[in-house]
Amino acid sequence: MADSDAVSSVDVPTDWNHYAPDPFVEKYAGLDDAAWEARIVASIDDPHQDGIAFPRFPPAALQERVHGHADASAVREAFEFHRLVKAFAAKLQVEIGRDTMILDFGSGWGRIVRTFMAKTALKNLFGLEPNPLFVQVARALNPYVAFVSGAYEPPTVFGDRKFDVVVAWSVFTHLPTALARQWLEEFARIVKPGGLVFVTAWGERFIDQLVAQKKRMKAGVEIHWFLKQVIESAGDLDQLRARHRAGEVVFVPSAQDPNYGDTFMSGKGARSIAGSKLVLVAHDDHAIAQDLLVYRRS
């Protein structure tokens, strides 16, 4: 399915809750994450709950095109990231509540930002997406949230020190090193002092997976097309591992687009591109599918 086909297949709802400025916080702020996750999963088939019109979901084909799975599986992955973000924020004494200003960077069709809608006021939730087709989809599916169209390179339209938290799920995973550095500099500008930036990238676990899958390929076993693509683009995996361990941010461009690929970043590598105003304060390499790197604005 072409991106334009996906956009044309999205129905624009006409029954949004314009009478209630924050219907989700008002109704669901008391729910724990598991209960809120269940509500969102239920909204896939039943977008009307408790008199509230929930954001819709795009066609499964579009979801799979963007992140490899759809509907309930996509929601579960989003909440795995959400829970880890909340856990680190609490540990670092940054509250995520009604008044927290949150930016979902590379928001796509708006999957990740939905996880925050039960606790954070809608006026404080923003998505930034450079692909204008995805922005159109996100706005049609979820007009509760401000989805902003931006360029693939900074700067953004946001003012200085606007946000408490920036989250970027599976975005830095695909950025060239120089562009990743530029975006971190922009985050340092738009995040308040003491605020947090959460990004993900590939780590050594993924290299282990590539090594194992390469052995299967050599044995004549058909593997997932994505893994095959990365293996063919990466070349010498032992060299890739050595560069990653040495602290280099290693970008492996895809054959189709030299500005998009797969990025491997250790904690040492994350520090090397942080600039002078962001400090790497946490690195989790096991809890979710990608490594999580947490920066604090100094």
pLDDT value, residue 3 = 47
Asked whether 45 and 171 are in contact (CB, 8 A), the reply is: no
| Predicted pLDDT at 21 | 77
Phi then psi dihedrals of residue 52, to 5 deg: -115, 135
- The tokens for 197 are 């930036």
pLDDT computed for residue 16 by the predictor? 59
Sequence ranges of the chain with CATH classification 3.40.50.150 = 3-203+265-297
Say what the pLDDT of residue 14 is. 55
Place of tokens 């979820």: 142
Query: In whole angstroms, how far apart are CA 78 and each of 21, 69, 171, 176, 289?
Result: 24, 11, 14, 24, 11
pLDDT averaged over 10-residue windows placed end to end, the chain, 298 residues: 47 57 94 98 96 96 92 98 98 97 98 98 97 96 96 97 98 97 98 98 98 98 95 97 98 89 98 98 98 98
Tokens of 18: 């314009």
Helix (H, G, I), strand (E, B) or coil at 225: helix
Identify the CATH class of 3-203+265-297: alpha beta
Q: DSSP string of 54-81?
A: PPP---HHHHHHHHS--HHHHHHHHHHH
Rounded to an integer, what distance in angstroms lies between the CA atom of residue 206 and that of residue 209?
5
